[in-house]
Amino acid sequence: MNDIKHLLNKHSDKIIQIRRDLHQIPETAYTEAKTSTYVADYLKKIGLEVRTGIAKYGVIGSKCFSDSGKTLMFRSELDALPVNEKTDLPFASSHTGAMHACGHDGHMAMVLGAAMVISELSNRLSGRINFVFQPAEEGPGGAKPMIDEGIMDNPKVDYALGCHLWPGVKQGQVGIKAGPLMAAMDRFDLTVKGKGGHGAMPHLCVDALDAGTQIVNALQRIVSRQMNPLSPTVITIGQFKAGTTFNIIPEEAHLSGTTRTFDREIWRSWPDRIETVVKGICDAMGATYSLDYQPGYPVTENDTWMTDEIRYVAESVVGKENVVIPEPTMGGEDMSFFLERSKGCFFFLGVGREEGAPLHSPHFDFSEDVLLTGVEIYCRAAIQLLGCA
């Protein structure tokens, strides 16, 4: 096992340099041209078989150890966020309006680092590893389009492993949990149509703004009065646009929001529940509506067996006392699509520090030591799952 430590030391500067190079060139969802090229070039340099242009910018590097055996995939995201970076890092974003504020630069560095180390461990492994880099995790999602292009088949992927740098877990710790870890998330857009007119004459109008406010209130009642409080669920209306000035009754109101839940049945029930409320209020007010409900990501749910395997691996890397069960989060992840297709595990690598900024903050940064921990977990997981007897 010590040769992994040796190889990690040998490649550690490169792994950190990759993170910094990629941090400087952040690209938002489905514009990841430079990032994708950087990753593909690196994989080719290591000598992997590389496929590009999957779901636009998706990249896969494959390493085959033997024709028979299992197939394992490691997954990273390519995309950054539309955030103006406010760190003073010497390698801060050179792209105005974009930043790796969700740590995906670190995720890419870890999966590329694992590819470098594992390429030098080949004689100890059987089967195949796919190093998968997907676009657009921050929405609208690149995992599903890559799966639709067949990346989980021929050969079928048996195990999927991924991680997220996570401020909710302390620096130096690893958070691993079987079962639901992250919520299913959807989006909806609603237009309420009324009849505009003079603010002094409401009886001649149908007030779309007023109908909209009643809808906002009634939608929250679904959570508080219809849902089992032991099954957490959230609805948030993040946008409400109506009106032009103080004395005009608006003809239209535009609302958009998101739902979150860990429960698949609740997840399936959300569109009907929302429509029932919207229709009831619009009918009562004499308004009409159009509702566009867009299913997003399923629940990110870890396989019990695979989670036990990865917990064992993580304990060997950071010590048993530093592997914790993290609190699940209502945040969503399209890693969920990979976990639906294979045994899999998505874990949290702790980057939590007292003074640290949260994910998606223009100040987000992390201690780069964690990248080596992540690479070591990937490499030992490969040996655990694909090791030759």
Is 155 or 331 the residue whose CB approaches Zn ion more closely? 331
Is 80 or 278 the residue whose CB approaches Zn ion more closely? 80
143 binds Zn ion (CB under 5 A): no
Q: How many CB atoms lie within 10 A of CB 84?
A: 11
Q: Of 137, 186, 309, 334, which one is the catalytic site residue? A: 137
- Using the contact rule CB under 5 A, the part of the chain among 15-23, 58-66, 97-105, 151-159 near Zn ion is 97-105
Is 47 or 82 the residue whose CB approaches Zn ion more closely? 82
102 binds Zn ion (CB under 5 A): yes
Phi, psi of 49 (to 5 degrees): -80, 125
Is 165 or 386 the residue whose CB approaches Zn ion more closely? 165
Q: Are 161 and 176 in contact (CB under 8 A)?
A: no
Tokens, residue 295? 């299913």
Nearest approach, Cβ of 104 to Zn ion (angstroms)?
6
The Cα 319–Cα 80 span in angstroms is 32
Amino acid identity of 266?
A: I
Amino acid identity of 255?
A: L
User: Could you confirm whether 3 is annotated as catalytic?
Assistant: no
Is 87 or 213 the residue whose CB approaches Zn ion more closely? 87
| Binding to Zn ion, residues 306-345 (CB under 5 A) | none
Q: Are 114 and 201 in contact (CB under 8 A)?
A: no
User: Could you confirm whether 137 is annotated as catalytic?
Assistant: yes
> Given the DSSP bridges, would you call strands 343-352 and 174-175 parallel, antiparallel or unpaired?
antiparallel
Q: Of 27, 32, 77, 79, which one is the catalytic site residue? A: 79
- Using the contact rule CB under 5 A, the part of the chain among 89-97, 102-110, 264-272, 320-328 near Zn ion is 102-110
Nearest approach, Cβ of 314 to Zn ion (angstroms)?
20
80 binds Zn ion (CB under 5 A): no
- Residue 272 buriedness (CB in 10 A; 0-12 / 13-18 / 19+): exposed
Amino acid identity of 388?
A: C
Q: Summarize as ranges the residues that interact with Zn ion (CB under 5 A).
A: 102
Which residues have a catalytic role annotated?
Answer: 79, 137
